[in-house]
Amino acid sequence: MTHSICKTALLGGLVVLVCAGLAAGSEVMVVANSSVKASHVDPSSLRDIFLGEKFSLPEGSKVTPVLLKNGPIHRAFLAAYIGKSEAGFQAGWRNMVFTGRGSLLKTFDSEEALLDYVAKTPGAIGYASNTGGRANVKAISVK
């Protein structure tokens, strides 16, 4: 009886963890202009691109990262793929700016504005909760 309860609890816990993982993963989606050939990107390359260390995807497409100014999608993206807090991420870019190694990325107040920019800018890559139905915006999976 006890053994059965333990198994059920473990199974239940596993289901909760999987659901939580799926939910967390579905919060934020990497999006890019349809000129970007890749359909997926590895987490390390994605991190390098948003930290200003790389300018192209492994398959060769040159990309220009863009950001949301703040908000839950911005924080979810940083937590899931960059591993930095909002302030830590901003400090890293300020470091680049004040040592001359980089310029600040273009930022947008809303997902709509970011998606509009991605739709009309070849090579643009960003993130949102969905593609917003824009014709020139595609989702990029991270794996």
Partner 1 sequence: MRLYGLALLFLVPGIALGLDVGDLDLQIHGTVAQGGLLSSHNNYLTAKTSDGSTQWTEAALNAATSVSDNLRIGLQLHTYRLGELGKLKLDVDWAYGDYRIREWFGIRAGKVKTPLGLCNDTQDIDTLHLWALLPQGVYPADNRSWTLAHTGGDVYSKVRLPGRLGKLSYQGYFGSRTADSDGGYFKAAAEAGFSVADGAFGRLYGGDVRWHTPLRGLTTGSSVGMADASGHLSIVNEPFPLTLKSTSDTNTAMYAEFEQGKFYAAGEYRRRIWNLAIPEMRLQAVAQDTRAWYLMAAYRIHPKVNLGAYCSRYRYAALKAFGNPSEPARLYSNDWVTAIRIDPNPYLYFKFEAHYIDGTAGGFYVSTNPTGFDRLTRLVVARIGFTF
- What residues line the site for partner 1 (CB under 8 A)? 44, 53-56, 62, 79, 83-88, 90-91, 94-95, 97-101, 103-104
Closer residue to partner 1 (CB): 87 or 135: 87
Closer residue to partner 1 (CB): 26 or 103: 103
Residue 95 Cβ, how far from partner 1 at the closest point, in Å? 5
Residue 5 Cβ, how far from partner 1 at the closest point, in Å? 35
How far is 41 from 121, CA to CA, in rounded Å?
19
Residue 52 Cβ, how far from partner 1 at the closest point, in Å? 11
Q: Which residues contact 54 (CB under 8 A, 6 or more apart)?
A: 45, 48
Give me the phi and psi of 36, to 5 degrees please: -70, 120
Burial class of residue 11 in the structure, from the number of CB atoms within 10 Å of its CB (0-12 exposed, 13-18 middle, 19+ buried)? exposed
Closer residue to partner 1 (CB): 17 or 97: 97
Which H helix or E strand runs over 4? helix 2-27
Q: Retrieve residue 80's tokens.
A: 């899931």
Closer residue to partner 1 (CB): 84 or 132: 84
* C-alpha 125, offset from chain centre: 9
